Amino acid sequence: MNDTAEVVIIGGGCMGASAAYHLTQLGVTDVVIVEREAMLGMGSTGRNAGGVRHQFSSDANVRLSIESIHCFENFSEQIGYPIDFHQDGYLFLLSRPEDLQAFRSNVDMQRSLGVEVDVISPQQAGILAPGLQVEGVVGATFCSRDGIADPNGVTMGFAKAAQASGARIYRETEATHIETVAGRVAAVRTTAGRISTRTVINAAGPHARSIGAMAELDVPVLPYRRHIFITEALMQLSTAGSNSPRLAPSSRIMVIDFETSFYFHREGAGVLFGMSDPGEHSSFDTTVNWEFLEKVNTIAMRRLPVLAEAGIAHAWAGLYEMTPDAMPIIGAAPQVEGYYLITGFSGHGFQHSPAAGRILAEMIVVGEARDFDTAPFSFGRFDGISTQRETNVV
C-alpha cells in the first residue's frame, strides 16, 4: 500500500472514531483510521464499565461531560445510530469528612455550570440503592443524569457515520513509524504500507507513549491495569436460614465508595463491580489477577452484602491511560507540526469522547475550539505547573 490522506488517526477506539466523525462534519473527509486489531474498540474502549458522569473535580472535565452526555442523550438523532444509554445516576459515598467537604465544593462548581447534583444523607443513599450498606458513610452526592452507556455502540456509531462521509478504516494495520521532514509530519508507515499525510492524530490510548516516540515526542501517558468482575444472576440469592432475599439495586445506578474506589452497578441479572489497586505498577498486563479479587471482596461484601453469595460469571482487565495530573491531552504537540494528541484521559475517556473529538477536530481545522478553554488539556502544560488536577479518579 502506498496511500495518501489529509489526516491519519492512529487508534480505532472511541477517541479515534469521534475525531474522525467530527473532522468529516467540518469538511475534512480524506481521513484514515489505522487500527491494529481486527475490530474497532477492542482496547481500553471495549474493556471499561461504560460509566458516564458529570461529577468531576475539574470544571474543564465537567464541561466535557455536559457536552458529551447531551450527545449521548441525542445520539440517534445527531449521529444517526442508536445506542444503549441508561441514566439511573451516579452515587458517590463519602466516609471521610475532608472528602465530604471537597465534594460539597465540587457540587457548588457543578451547579454553577448547570448540573443538577445534590449532597444527600447516608440514609437517602441507602434508599436510592437497595441493599447498600452505609455504615461509616458521612454523606453522599447524587446526579440523576449520570449513567451507563455502551462503548461499542458509541464507537461504531461514530465510525459508521465517519465512513458514510468518506473516512476510511484500515483494520489489522499497525503504525510502525511517523516520518517527519523539517519538523513536520510527512507520512505514517504501517504494517500494510506507507500513508503520506501532513496531519496525524495520536489516539492510541495506553499506547500513546510509544506512538509519540515514533516522532521523538515524550508523551507522559502510562498504562495501569484495572479489573472488572460480573457476578452470576442474583435473583435466587437469600440470606442464610431465611427465605427473604438479600437486596441489590434493580436499576443501573452506579455506586462508588470514594475512599476505597470500590464501585458497582447492576448488569443484567448480576452485578458489575471493580476497584483500583493502589499497589498496581504501570504495565500492559491485562490478565486477571484472581488474588486481587479477594481484596475487592472485603470491601464489596461490606458495602453490598448480597455479593457474599454471588459467584463470578465473567472477569477481565483493561488499561487506564494515566497522565501525571489525571487530565487528558487534547491538541497539538508544538515540537512537531501536524502532530496532534487525544489521549491520557485517566479512566474517563469513553464518556468524554464526543466532546473531545469535536474539540480536537476544530483545533485542527479552524485553529481553536469554539467556546472551550483548552489550556488545561495542552501538551505543553507539563513543561510548567499544571493549572488543574482531577481528583475524582476511580
Cβ-based burial of 335 (10 A; exposed 0-12, middle 13-18, buried ≥19): middle
What is the predicted pLDDT for the residue at 242?
Answer: 41
What is the predicted pLDDT for the residue at 243?
Answer: 42
What is the predicted pLDDT for the residue at 65?
Answer: 98
Question: Which pairing describes strands 184-190 and 193-196: parallel, antiparallel, or unpaired?
Answer: antiparallel
Question: Which pairing describes strands 193-196 and 2-4: parallel, antiparallel, or unpaired?
Answer: parallel
First to last CA, the chain: 42
Which residue type does 207 have? H
- Within 8 A by CB and 6+ apart from 353, the residues are 14, 15, 17, 18, 68, 154, 155, 158
What is the predicted pLDDT for the residue at 220?
Answer: 97
Superfamily of domain 2-52+151-221+324-383 in CATH is FAD/NAD(P)-binding domain (3.50.50.60)
Residue 361 has φ and ψ, to the nearest 5°, of -60, -40
What is the predicted pLDDT for the residue at 48?
Answer: 72
- 90-144+223-322 carries CATH number 3.30.9.10: yes
What is the predicted pLDDT for the residue at 47?
Answer: 67
What is the predicted pLDDT for the residue at 241?
Answer: 41
What is the predicted pLDDT for the residue at 237?
Answer: 42
Q: H/E element holding 364?
A: helix 349-365
Please state the domain extents for the chain: 2-52+151-221+324-383, 90-144+223-322
d(CA 240, CA 309): 10
pLDDT lower than 70: segments of the chain: 41-47, 235-246, 385-387
d(CA 137, CA 260): 12
DSSP designation for 358: H
What is the predicted pLDDT for the residue at 60?
Answer: 97
What is the predicted pLDDT for the residue at 46?
Answer: 59
